[in-house]
Chain A
Amino acid sequence: MVPITYYLLLAAALFCMGMFGVLVRTNALVVFMCVELMLNAVNLTFLAFARMHGDGIGHVSAFFVIAVAAAEAAIGLAIVIAVFRSRGSVNVDDIRTMKH
């Protein structure tokens, strides 16, 4: 059986990759994908701990995360489309109107 440490290291690596993408990529769609990556890293952590403890709470949490991620993707993509229609671009560097 694979020790739990490996799962956790993998999840941490995925999470860091996702976070790196969120922080540096300028295309809003790629940023979205990176957010999904982070969420799935978290799911992996949940499942790893659930397996270790042998109970269902981690599984339940993972399902919740999946449901929330689906909703978030639906709303986020709708916003991205709306922004694209009004501005002709999905570059996050261009969307800086919420400032002083």
Chain B
Amino acid sequence: MDGIVEFFRTAPIPPEVFAPSLGLIILLPLLGAFVCGVFGKWLGRANVHLVACSAIAGAFVLSLMAFWATSDAAGGRVVSMPNAFGLERDVVRYAISYDYGTWFAAGDFRVNFGLLVDHLSGILLLVITGIGFLIHLYSTSYMEHDDGYWRFFAYLNLFVAAMLTLVMADNLVLLFVGWEGVGMASYLLIGFWYTDSAKAWAGRKAFVTNRIGDFAFLIATFLLILTVNAFSQQADPRDYNSAGSSRARYTQGLLEKGPVTFKGLEKMALALPEGTGGAVSLATPIEAGPLAGYTFGGVMTATMLLFLLGAAGKSAQLPLYVWLPDAMAGPTPVSALIHAATMVTAGVYLFCRMSSLLVLSPTAMATIAVVGALTSLLAALIAFAQDDIKKVLAYSTVSQLGIMFMGVGMGVFWAAALHLLTHACFKACLFLGAGSVMHGNGDETDIKKLGGLYKEMKWTHATFLVSTLAITGIIPLSGFFSKDAIFHGVHHNHLHDLHWVSGFVYAMGLLITACTAFYMSRVYLLTFTGKRSPEAKVAHAHESSWFMTLPLVVLAFLSVVTLVYALPLMPRSGGGMQPVFENFLSPVLRPAEAVARAAQTVALDHSTPAFVDYLIAWLVALSGGATAAFLYLKFFPAQVGKPVPAFARAVRRTAHNKFYVDELYEFILIRPVKFVAFILFRVVDALVIDTVLVRGTAYVTEKVGLGLRRLQTGDAQAYAAIMALAILGGAVYALLQVLS
């Protein structure tokens, strides 16, 4: 037993040896994207599959090594890296990093190409490359009839590279590179079948919606840079002392690493609470610079709200969630990888990464939680009446992301990250299952025209069932535990002065659980049980090849076993037990806890759910599922032929049309913007720029040229006479100068 523990606690490659190779994890998929994208057409299908899959497999192996290295405790010495912003003894445990040097610098501003892997990014590395590899494998079969296969795999590899950059970045700017990169890859893949104008439009919609969020993200980054500058000018030794740093070390860190590294921001967060007795606290006004007059706390709230808008764009939250359901226009593996498992969780990752800053602002936290709850409920209600299997799953993704945002907003970062992990497994499984259903049924996506697939697609059915139960929240699957961990934390954490948020969000959470159970059961029952619909496209579905079923089985297996993470098996430092994942993430989240304790902005509770809590959550989920089963197995089949009441039709139509949110946006945003754009086009572009400036310049030049060309007579003696006159004039001028 000790031998096994020792084996897992000793990284096969020592951390300090492995650290310089961290860049390879990004480089491999990038190389794969380059080879597939440039030479893919000549390489042929099989070679492209080989290159793309092996690039991801290589990245997975390296990620595994990196993950192993972050847990290395060989000989009782825990792996640690020096903190550039802290005192010498203040090391970051359970993390490895490597700085490849300055990326760019201007004045005293500097951004380094630094990579950091700790437990949070380590587990995400495994999710991205592991699930990414399964989805690549699945795609080799799913895209077997598509001529654009090389483009597809190039984009997929590019996406993985960008996502890995996002996760491993040790500063905000590099994270933003990955943030934009995944947005671009998502755009390319949603509009993959660009000859269909609806799909091309869906890609554009996703891109434009994301740009709105990205803009907020950039502004927030600028605000943070200004705040760090103000902090480094105003802080006194007590501030630095309370953050475990000193002025010399902190300024040295700023010079070496730049102001936007996460470790530096963490130190600032640690110094900002009131209790430190230093010169700077949340209520201190900033003295100089563009932010002069605003308090640190106020700026921090604004920054976090802007980050929320940025995260809402990427993670499909209100008000920017509208792109995600349309993103289902892309190939199904894309929906599974990008729009369910990885990219859309970037917002949750961002807030976990910046947790120490987030806990400084209860207002921002409450906003995040409420936005998450509202998004989640709205998406769940829309999912009730969608008939497209991928659309239902898309709305359920929005809903689950809302649950993660609730967790982040209430300070249960570990549970949000855990739900991110379990959701990645079961939602990828659900999407790939939906893809398998489509593949075997002539690309039919309408669940009303499927049915009875449990006999024909055994593997797909079994895995879909497992992942449906997982997302529904039925014991003993991972989804139950991760969702319940969030709701428990939400219920027991309290934001300063905003106590109503916990109760409100918790009640919403229970409602969402019931809704989730209802619509997921509906999808499962309509697709797999009952009789085959008479409107089905093909009479008999065929089960997909093992390239597609194997990833399904692995993912279904993972969505069961990840429940281990939620079990209270690890000893807590103050006695008692704590969930594995909380223990696992504690090195990453410790600064946030310290800040929350010092600033008293949020009271974090660490109790584990009691039996009653589990029972309530389980009963709520079960009631939702039972309602769906009753309605779709007993009630509706019995009602066939009878007229539907008018109000039921109206409700269904409203939900089916997504509560007319798209139409609302069309009316209040898109139309006015288009109108202004039309005016600008006609007046500024067509009239001022095109007619007056461009054509005007050409007209004047032409006319002047026509006049001046008369002077060119071709008579050499006339030219010579002019030269002579000019020289004479010069001589006379010189003479006059000399004489006067």
Q: Which residues of A contact B (CB under 8 A)?
A: 19, 22-24, 31, 92-93, 95-100
**Nearest Cβ distance between residue A17 and chain B, in whole angstroms?**
13
- B702-722: which residues lie under 8 A (CB-CB) from chain A? 709-710, 712-717, 720-721
- Chain B residues near A31 (CB-CB < 8 A): 717
- A22 contacts across to B, CB distance below 8 A: 717, 720
Question: Which residues of chain B come closer than 8 Å to A19, judged between CB atoms?
Answer: 724
Question: Interface size class for chain B?
Answer: 10 to 19
Is B714 in contact with A99, judged by CB distance below 8 angstroms? yes
A-B CB proximity, top 6 nearest? A99-B714, A96-B714, A100-B709, A98-B714, A100-B712, A23-B721
**Contact call A97/B714, Cβ cutoff below 8 A:** yes
Closest chain B residue, CB of each to CB of A98: B714
B721 CB → nearest A CB, Å: 5
13 further interface pairs, Cβ-Cβ under 8 Å (given A23-B717, A31-B717, A96-B713)? A19-B724, A22-B717, A22-B720, A92-B715, A92-B716, A93-B715, A96-B715, A97-B714, A98-B714, A99-B712, A99-B714, A99-B715, A100-B709
Q: Is the CB of B714 within 8 A of A23?
A: no
Contacts of B712 in A (CB 8 A): 98-100
Query: Which among A23, A92, A97 has the greatest number of chain B C-beta atoms within 10 A?
Result: A23
A20 to chain B, nearest CB (A): 9
- Complex Cα distance, B89 from A71, in Å, reads 85
687-740 of chain B: CB within 8 A of chain A: 709-710, 712-717, 720-721, 724
Selected from A23, A24, A92, A99, the residue in CB contact (under 8 A) with B713 is A99
Given A19-B724, A23-B721, A23-B724: A100 in contact with B710 (beta carbons within 8 A) = yes
CB nearest to B725 among chain A residues: A23
Find the A residue at minimum CB distance from B709.
A100
Cα–Cα, bound, A57→B714 (Å): 39
Docked complex Cα distance between A89 and B720 (Å): 21
A32 CB to closest chain B CB, in angstroms?
12
B717, A92: Cβ atoms closer than 8 Å? yes
* Min CB–CB distance A82 → chain B (angstroms): 16
Expressed in whole angstroms, the Cα–Cα distance for A69 and B347 within the complex equals 82
Contacts of B724 in A (CB 8 A): 19, 23
Could you show 10 A-B contacts with beta carbons less than 8 Å apart? A19-B724, A23-B724, A31-B717, A92-B716, A96-B714, A98-B714, A99-B713, A99-B715, A100-B709, A100-B710
In whole angstroms, what is the CA distance A67 to B722 when docked? 28
Q: How far is the CA of A73 from the CA of B720 in the complex (A)?
A: 18
With the chains together, A100 CA to B714 CA distance in Å? 8
In the complex, the chain B residue whose C-beta lies closest to that of A25 is: B717
Nearest opposing residue in chain B for A97, CB measure: B714
Q: How far is the CB of B405 from chain A (nearest CB, A)?
A: 74
Give B724's nearest chain A residue, CB to CB. Answer: A19
How far is A22 from B721 in the complex, measured between Cα atoms in Å? 9
Min CB gap B401→A, angstroms: 72
| Cβ of A57 to closest chain B Cβ, rounded Å | 22
- Give Cα A96 to B712, complex, Å: 10
* CB-defined contacts of A99 to chain B, threshold 8 Å: 712-715
Q: In angstroms, how far is the closest chain A Cβ from the Cβ of B199?
A: 58
When C-beta atoms are compared, the residue in chain A nearest to B713 turns out to be: A99
Alpha-carbon distance A81/B712, docked complex (angstroms)? 26
Complex formed: what's the CA distance from A92 to B709 in Å?
21
Closest to A16 in B: B724
Which residues from A are CB-within-8-Å of B716? 92, 95
- A83 CB to closest chain B CB (Å) equals 12
The interface residues of chain A lying within 8 Å CB-to-CB of B717 are 22-24, 31, 92
Q: How far is the CB of A23 from chain B (nearest CB, A)?
A: 5
C-alpha spacing A97/B710, complex, angstroms: 14
A21 to B724, CA, bound (A): 12
How far is it, in angstroms, between the C-alpha of A95 and the C-alpha of B709 when the chains are bound?
A: 18
Q: How far is the CB of A80 from chain B (nearest CB, A)?
A: 13
| B713: chain A residues within 8 A (beta carbon) | 96, 99
Contact A23 B710 (CB under 8 A): no
Distance between Cα atoms of A98 and B709 in the complex (Å): 12
Give Cα distance in the complex from A48 to B260, angstroms.
77
The answer to whether B720 and A23 have CB atoms under 8 Å apart is yes
- Residue in chain B with minimal CB distance to A99: B714
**Chain B neighbourhood of A100, CB < 8 A:** 709-710, 712
CA distance A99 to B715 in the complex (A): 8
What is the 8 Å Cβ interface bit string for chain B, positions 374-407, against chain A (1 contact, 0 not)? 0000000000000000000000000000000000
Instruction: Report the minimum CB–CB distance from B313 to chain A (whole Å).
Output: 61
The CA-CA distance from A19 to B717 in the complex, in Å, is 10
Task: Give per-residue flags for B667-705: 1 if the beta carbon is below 8 A from chain A beta carbons, else 0.
Answer: 000000000000000000000000000000000000000
Q: How far is the CB of B734 from chain A (nearest CB, A)?
A: 15
Neighbouring B residues of A24 by C-beta, 8 Å:
717
Return chain B residues, CB-CB under 8 Å to A23. 717, 720-721, 724
Least distance between B702 CB and chain A CB atoms (Å): 14
A95 vs B712: C-alpha distance when bound (angstroms): 14
Q: Which residue of A lies closest to B716 (CB)?
A: A92
Bitwise interface map of B from 54 to 75 toward A, beta carbon under 8 Å scored 1, else 0? 0000000000000000000000
Give every chain B residue within 8 A of A93 (Cβ-Cβ). Answer: 715
In angstroms, Cα B282 to Cα A3, docked, is: 94
Q: Closest approach, in angstroms, between the C-beta of A95 and any C-beta of chain B?
A: 7
What residues of chain A lie closer than 8 Å to B715, measured between beta carbons?
A: 92-93, 96, 99
- Which chain A residues border B721 with CB–CB below 8 Å? 23
Q: How far is the CB of B728 from chain A (nearest CB, A)?
A: 10
Given the complex of chains A and B, what is the CA–CA distance between A96 and B717 in angstroms?
Answer: 10
Query: Bound state CA distance, A38 and B721, in angstroms?
Result: 15
Complexed CA–CA distance, A88 and B716 (Å):
19
A70 CB to closest chain B CB (Å) equals 22
What is the CA–CA distance of A58 and B234 in the complex, to the nearest angstrom? 74
- How far apart are the CA atoms of A23 and B724 in the complex, in Å? 9
**Residue interface bits B125-162, CB-to-A below 8 A is 1, else 0:** 00000000000000000000000000000000000000
Residues of A within 8 A of B710 (CB): 100
Complex formed: what's the CA distance from A45 to B627 in Å? Answer: 116
Q: How far is A99 from B713 in the complex, measured between Cα atoms in Å?
A: 5
Please measure, in the bound complex, the distance between the C-alpha atom of A100 and the C-alpha atom of B720, giving whole angstroms.
18
Q: How far is the CA of A31 from the CA of B717 in the complex (A)?
A: 10
Q: In the complex, which residue of chain B has the Cβ closest to the Cβ of A20?
A: B724
- Whole-angstrom distance between the alpha carbons of A93 and B717 in the complex? 9
> How far is the CB of A65 from the nearest CB of chain B, in Å?
18
Give the nearest-CB partner of B714 in chain A. Answer: A99
Complex CA gap A72/B720 in Å reads: 17
Chain A nearest CB: distance from B390 CB in Å? Answer: 70
Report the separation of the CA atoms of residues A97 and B714 in the bound assembly, to the nearest whole angstrom.
Answer: 6
Which residues on B sit within 8 Å (CB–CB) of A97?
714
B720 to chain A: which residues have CB within 8 Å?
22-23
Tell me the bound Cα distance from A19 to B715 in angstroms: 16
CA distance A31 to B724 in the complex (A): 15
